[in-house]
Amino acid sequence: MSVTLERESRTALTVGALGVVYGDIGTSPLYTMKEVFNPELGLALNPVNLIGAVSVILWGLMFIVTLKYVILILRADNRGEGGIMALTALASKAAGTTPRRRLVLLLVGVFGAALFYGDSVITPAISVLSAVEGLEVVTPAFKPYVLPISVGVLIGLFAFQRLGTAVVGKLFGPVIGVWFVVLALTGVQQIVQQPGILAALNPLNALAFMRAQGWHVFFILGAIVLAFTGAEALYADLGHFGKRPIQWAWTGLVFPSLALNYMGQGALLMGDPAALANPFFRMFPTALLLPAVVLATVATIIASQAVITGAYSMTKQAIQLGLLPRMKVLYTSEKEIGQIYIPLVNWLLLASVLLAVVGFGSSTALASAYGIAVTVTMLTTTLLTFFVIRYDWRYPLALALAATSVFLAADTLLVMACSLKFMQGGWFPLALGIAIFVVMASWRRGRELLMESISQADPELQPFVEGLVADSITRVSRTAVYAVANPTTVPQALLHNLKHNQVLHERNIILNVVFHDVPWVPPAERIQVESLAPGFWKVLVNYGFKDTPDIPQALADCKSAQLVINPFETTYFLSREIIIPTRRRGMALWREGLFAFMSRNAGNVADFFRLPDNCVVELGTRVQI
């Protein structure tokens, strides 16, 4: 019975993985072949080039997706979690024998994570545009309406986010499953008519094609890389579905369907070169064109949903790893804690996506912008994986190099190919990623400078509280919780309370919340309680970067350490620092100004830690950095 239930569970996870994991790479056939043979690239549309280009796509999927991600990188999990933030934490922890090395690895990972936001902008834009452009195949009269319809679909998609995706999410897998079946069937139909395209299965044709192109191959690879976009999702969603369901979905349905469809488009173009205007939709008979456009639009919405949700998840992880300021996080499901909505990220993404759609105007123009962010992220993933293999798995140096050097060479080649499209739009996601990287780096460094300044100005905690116990200060029969970033110095809020109110609570909790570079912290390791002096306790609450902080619940759990806190007699005192930028040695003045701006506009601490609104007192203090 248990074996049957486990099998059914894995089947459900495999179906679910189709929608969330493979939506992005599954919609790549909408535009890839059209861009590979775009007349501007100068690649002649003949049977030899068609077989060669399709062969490069097929063996690229085999090499980059199957060998690199499905077989190797899915093994590099951080306690079951995947994604570049989890990999960065794992690599820096495993290889961080020196602070400098840890910092370099952290910066590499943060840069890759920042570029993910570029992907989160381009994917919805190019996917929805390419699907709606199918209306032009139905009738050219629809051409003026493609852009407005695309904008309307995207606005609706982002407006829907605040309602959550619990209900729609259950449909993702089956719908994308139908999508892949349609990809396979349309491909087979064309292959039967032009079986010569099956020569693309021979890897020698891929090598011959690349050799024949000479230096021009870089321009061609810049378009072929569109077939691999979405590969990072295999690793990013590891924690949601597990390794086996992701592997089964890829080998059992996704890869065969993609291979058949790309060969089908190649077969179609061998017989009808005029179909290059939109080879994907030209594979459908006229009667099925409109249903195909509808199905493609739904599939691209699902693919867009996956990267939008991924942007929320990565933002939450970055906040808890100290790379971004606090933001308002809403939980859209009472059962699934991973379903979150971050309003600020949602509307910034929508603005960026609409800017991309209106600014570029077509999927062909957007294709030039696509690729750089994706390939650089793939490159950083390979670099980080080397350190995991070498220092976490403790494999010999030669084996670690052998396992990653070939992938590193391939990723570098793709980055070089995509960089040729920098002036044609590749600058857009790269500029966006660099801007986000500057924000993350400035916030992290600013927090370090802030902690240094506070620790120098505030007295030591232990002797201070011992001195308070000896003094005859008026006591209030309640519990005060002082949230601090540095548990070794006296909280600013406590100093203000003593100075201005001249009272001391009967029970005082010095609360320090620490987010660790692991996804989850077991409940048994969540709380650490230390008695400092009569009436004073230090409480350390440990969270992973995917945990959801809940301080009232954590304090309730302190009863296991013989510290009972009555929530109805508790006041939370919070310090809000007002940052004053100076020309001291630390950061550039403009970066300190940026940090001060972010600090002023950071989300409310009480909301982030789920503190009750009627039990919070905030006290401000000015700090120079």
Report pLDDT digits (tens) over 463-521. Answer: 888 888 777 777 888 899 998 888 888 888 888 888 887 788 889 999 999 988 788 88
Nearest to 548 by CA among 312, 349, 343: 312
Pairing of strands 330-331, 570-580: unpaired
pTM over the 0.75 mark: yes
Separation of alpha carbons 587 and 270, rounded Å: 59
* pLDDT higher than threshold 80 for residue 33: yes
Separation of alpha carbons 277 and 166, rounded Å: 38
β-pair partners for 542: 514
Pairing of strands 330-331, 527-533: unpaired
Please write down the HEC assignment for all residues of 382-399: HHHHHHHHHHHCCCCHHH
The single-letter code of the amino acid at 288 is L
Q: Which segments of the chain belong to CATH 1.20.1740.10? A: 9-420
Pairing of strands 340-341, 330-331: antiparallel
* pLDDT higher than threshold 90 for residue 559: no
At 455 the three-state DSSP class reads: helix
Nearest to 121 by CA among 441, 351, 297, 301: 351
Which residues, 6 or more positions from 434, have their beta carbon under 8 angstroms from its beta carbon?
114
pLDDT at residue 4, as a whole number:
47
The band of 5, judged by pLDDT with boundaries at 50, 70 and 90, is very low
* pLDDT higher than threshold 90 for residue 187: yes
Q: Which CATH number fits domain 9-420: 3.30.1360.40, 1.20.1740.10, 1.20.120.1200, 1.10.150.300?
A: 1.20.1740.10
Measured in whole angstroms, how far is the alpha carbon of residue 115 from the centre of its chain? 9
Q: Tens digit of pLDDT for each residue in 419-437?
A: 888 888 888 888 888 999 9
Q: With contact defined as beta carbons under 8 Å apart, do 478 and 455 qualify?
A: no
pLDDT at residue 280, as a whole number:
94
> DSSP secondary-structure letter at 460?
B
The single-letter code of the amino acid at 427 is W
Q: Tens digit of pLDDT for each residue in 263-286?
A: 999 999 999 999 998 999 999 998
How buried is 140 (Cβ within 10 angstroms: 0-12 exposed, 13-18 middle, 19+ buried)? exposed
Separation of alpha carbons 594 and 589, rounded Å: 9
Separation of alpha carbons 256 and 588, rounded Å: 53
Q: With contact defined as beta carbons under 8 Å apart, do 138 and 293 qualify?
A: yes
Separation of alpha carbons 616 and 573, rounded Å: 6
How large a percentage of the chain has pLDDT more than 90? 38
Q: Tens digit of pLDDT for each residue in 436-473?
A: 999 999 999 998 888 888 777 678 888 888 888 777 77
The pair of three-digit structure tokens given for residue 571, joined into one six-digit string:
């006041």
Of all helices (H) and strands (E), which one includes residue 135?
A: helix 134-138
Residue indicated by tokens 């400035």: 442
Strands, E assignment, 253-412: 330-331, 340-341
The pair of three-digit structure tokens given for residue 316, joined into one six-digit string:
């939450």
Separation of alpha carbons 545 and 172, rounded Å: 27
pLDDT at residue 336, as a whole number:
52
At 573 the three-state DSSP class reads: strand
The pair of three-digit structure tokens given for residue 477, joined into one six-digit string:
């029969």
Separation of alpha carbons 568 and 305, rounded Å: 41
219 or 137: which leads in pLDDT: 219
Separation of alpha carbons 609 and 399, rounded Å: 45
pLDDT at residue 286, as a whole number:
87
How buried is 281 (Cβ within 10 angstroms: 0-12 exposed, 13-18 middle, 19+ buried)? buried
